[in-house]
Amino acid sequence: MGPVTTLDAAARALPLLDLTSLNDDDTEERIAALCARAVTPAGSVAAVCIYPRFIPVAKQLLENKGVAIATVVNFPGGGASAAEVAGETRAAVAAGADEIDVVLPWRDFMAGERTVPRDVLRACRDACGDGILMKVILETGGLADAGLIEQAGRDAVAAGADFLKTSTGKLQPAATLEAAAILLDVIRDCGRPVGFKAAGGIRDTAGAAAYLHLADTVMGPGWATPATFRFGASGLLDALLADLGHGATGQKPSSGY
């Protein structure tokens, strides 16, 4: 194979994108604009990722468009109880969410607590039911320590995670290649299909390409598909489209993603 071009990388990354708006001041109008951006001249993104209150408007606008609706629970702090997380999850699924991005109680995890994080994730898993993806946000920038990140990833997989996700995008550092490498190693060795999501701070094609190259190296070429690999981002879409020759798609999002 020859060298990967910017065009190749952008074309590969776009269908892996969870186009995200998780701003405290989001409005239905802003989410409608996000949904309009999700179907592009170069194809559709994998999902939009929004707060639960916006699921109905997104569901209406994206019906039959081939774009999944992802939402967040226990977000961003990770401090809710298992019962609260179960309730949030059930409500989001009932409203039409296809994917649940749940925050691991990472501060408890850092403090040595294992039962509470496990119970929260299992409650979310049970509330998701069949057919709903559970993406576990580990907040790797908060955990910081490689050993903790690895153990959190293993515990999330044991609790039923369908994806391991780096970050909320609300804490710095967000996604890093170092954390991604640890989580991809966990996924490779876990014995069942689990996906990976890099979220926060990935804003250009070169950045996306670095994560895809890492996934190719650890998991093998061709592993990264929308079923196994996502980018959580807001500004990345415009960069990808520009590199694909389609110019900008409108307003620049203000999210930390």
At 1, the amino acid letter reads M
Q: Distance between CA 235 and CA 4 in Å, rounded? A: 22
Catalytic member of 165, 204, 238, 243: 165
**204 labelled catalytic:** no
Q: Distance between CA 76 and CA 142 in Å, rounded? A: 12
Least Cα distance to 235 among 218, 212, 213, 252 occurs for 252
Q: Distance between CA 200 and CA 170 in Å, rounded? A: 8
Whether the CB-CB separation of 100 and 68 falls below 8 Å is answered with no
Other residues' Cβ atoms within 10 Å of the Cβ of residue 27: 12
Catalytic member of 26, 101, 155, 204: 101
**65 labelled catalytic:** no
Catalytic member of 26, 197, 204, 238: 197
**98 labelled catalytic:** no
The residues annotated with a catalytic role in the active site are 101, 165, 197
